Amino acid sequence: MSNVQFFPPIGQLAKQADDLPEEQTTTDGDIQEDRPLQEVESLCMRCGEQGITRMMLTSIPYFREVIVMSFRCEHCGMTNNEIQSAGIIRELGVTYTLKVLHRGDLDRQLVRSQACEISIPEFELTLPPNERGQLTTVEGLLRDIVADLGADQPLRRIQNEVAYTKIQEIIDGLKEVIDEDEEDERGVASDKPVVDKLKEDPVKRTITITLDDPSGSSFLEFAGSMADPKWSLKTYTRTLEQAASLGLATANEETKDPSEEDAGDTKAAEGEGDRFDGKNDEKVSIPYFKETLIMSTNCDNCGYRDNEVKAGSAISAKGKKITLKVVDQEDLRRDVLKSETGGLTIPEIELVLQHGTLGGRFTTLEGILDQVYEELSQKLLLTGDSSATGDDDRTKFQTFLEDLNAVERRFIKHVEREFTVILDDPLANSYVQNIYAPDPDPNMTIETYERSWEQNEELGLNDMKVESY
């Protein structure tokens, strides 16, 4: 059976639920069979009576297959809900960062997996991974934090006043962000329409939310397009400890001394399998560029393949911006080295990849575009009543994905229309092949620029001391 049969789209399940009769009885077998939810009796951990757990197997468009579960006890009123991933573990970990500046940012959808760690640096608050996945909004996450922290505050006030004071400062700060005092439960009506308040008004206190998920299964919605200045996505290779926590490696796996390892063969954790396999690396000198370390993983056990590049020379004094005008099929076959610090932009389809997205890659221009489409089509979530993305933006993004699709994006695949690729790397470690070398390339321009203080700070260069060593 296909995944569509087991995990129908969430919109199809919603329509199926709407078509059911309003009056349903649990003894009606035909109705129960048509219901999109599966119900089972479960023990309530609060009162010890039997409650009802409802489960729904569905697929979220542009994200993945999930299992949504909801529990309710009619005896004591206890409720609980969670979401679990039903797909494979991603090849790379992800880090999402969102700057909450306006009320509309609180409506962004958020998917938190069991392996996801959430941090809010303004409050020095870190939420460790837990056993319960979550599908909610930014506001819903903040309200859950307030409820969890406030549950034991009366007891802390008596036992540990210092801890009570510090936690209360966090609770008050989060309430200030979500503006809880002006909610409807107060019974005070606002003169300003709620929609205008949510979408346009600035929050009383700005915060930064970071989702770090080594499994790659979490998601934080952007607004409009990936050029959203308040949103960023970075991917990274899992460490041995992270792979062990996900069950992809054993925790007591011994690592070799680098001096004892073969220079061209190291051990690497697979992204999809459950074993370790050889990872070959080679230091090469690219003509008209610089020395680069190319690493390639190929597993004979499951067929997993991956490659990554890293700079093999000194840090450049200036950044580099490469602009290529793609006019024919030959341009798609150009070798492209995109480093971990490189950002990619295609203005014609409003594609903007922030620095660090996709990690380091050594491939062709066509290969980069295929990897971008695969990454976005599997991860992005643009549906739901509380989505911060409007219908126009959602349609626009659908068109954007079609333009990238290896089958449907005809003007890119067959170059029926010229487009521009901009590769911006503040460390100048990225490269696009010059097919006219050593002569200048008429379709490519290379600019060097001085890095800003913010770029040096993000790269850790401002505090780097190299004198007198």
d(CA 460, CA 455): 9
pLDDT of 453 reads: 87
Pick from 2-16, 29-43, 65-79, 335-349: least confident: 2-16
pLDDT score of 220 more than 80: yes
pLDDT bin (cut points 50, 70, 90) of residue 436 is: confident
- pLDDT tens, position by position, 61-107: 545 677 888 889 999 988 888 777 676 677 788 899 999 998 888 98
Q: What is the DSSP letter of 462?
A: T
pLDDT score of 181 more than 60: no
- The answer, as to whether pTM is greater than 0.75, is no
d(CA 36, CA 58): 9
pLDDT score of 320 more than 80: yes
pLDDT bin (cut points 50, 70, 90) of residue 394 is: low
Determine what percent of the chain is predicted with pLDDT higher than 70: 67
d(CA 380, CA 390): 15
pLDDT of 67 reads: 81
276, 249 in Cβ contact below 8 A?
yes
d(CA 298, CA 307): 9
pLDDT bin (cut points 50, 70, 90) of residue 170 is: very high
Most confident of 54-63, 66-75, 191-200: 66-75
Greater confidence (359 vs 239) lies with 239
